[in-house]
Amino acid sequence: MSTTISPAPRARRPMPQLMSLTDAAATRLAALYAKGRQGMTLRISVGTKGCSGLSYDMNWVEKPGPGDEVVTDKGLTVIVDRKATLFLIGTVMDYQTEALSSGFTFINPNEKGRCGCGESFHV
């Protein structure tokens, strides 16, 4: 009689969170939601643009589209375009204020480089 030993199933690593918000981004987003964007949600996608090929796009939408991912962090919700999820896994959204500009920025561990002006990136 022969016995076969099945290997134990490998433990799966937990998936990293799709996106998270810094405190600064959460504060700014909460202010936008409370003022002129009531009933709307920020939707983040990735489009083709610039010399490096990809760029972050943000739009206000009333509800998620088919297949969109809904991300909730720090009590706030953002929507991520289904086609952008592979580019954005593990990304941290921040809000920065500088002397002449302010805006949302993305700290993306999947980026391999950015163009010189910072408008586009590649993975």
Task: Work out the average pLDDT over 46-54.
Answer: 70
- Rounded CA separation 97/47 (Å): 24
Burial grade of 68 (CB within 10 A; 0-12, 13-18, 19 or more):
buried
pLDDT band at 51, cuts 50/70/90? low
Task: Work out the average pLDDT over 69-75.
Answer: 93
Is residue 112 a contact partner of residue 53, using CB atoms and an 8 Å limit? Answer: no
pTM for the model stands at: 0.77
The dihedral formed by the CA atoms of 64, 104, 25 and 40, expressed in degrees to the nearest 10: -30
Q: Please spell the DSSP secondary structure of the chain, one letter per residue.
A: -----PPPPPPPPPPPPSEEE-HHHHHHHHHHHHTTTTT-EEEEEEEEETTTEEEEEEEEESSPPTTPEEEEETTEEEEE-GGGHHHHTTEEEEEEE-SS-EEEEEE-TT--EE-TTSS-EE-
* Res 32 pLDDT > 80: yes
Q: What is the chain's mean pLDDT, rounded?
A: 82
* Domains of the chain with bracketed CATH: 19-122 (2.60.300.12)
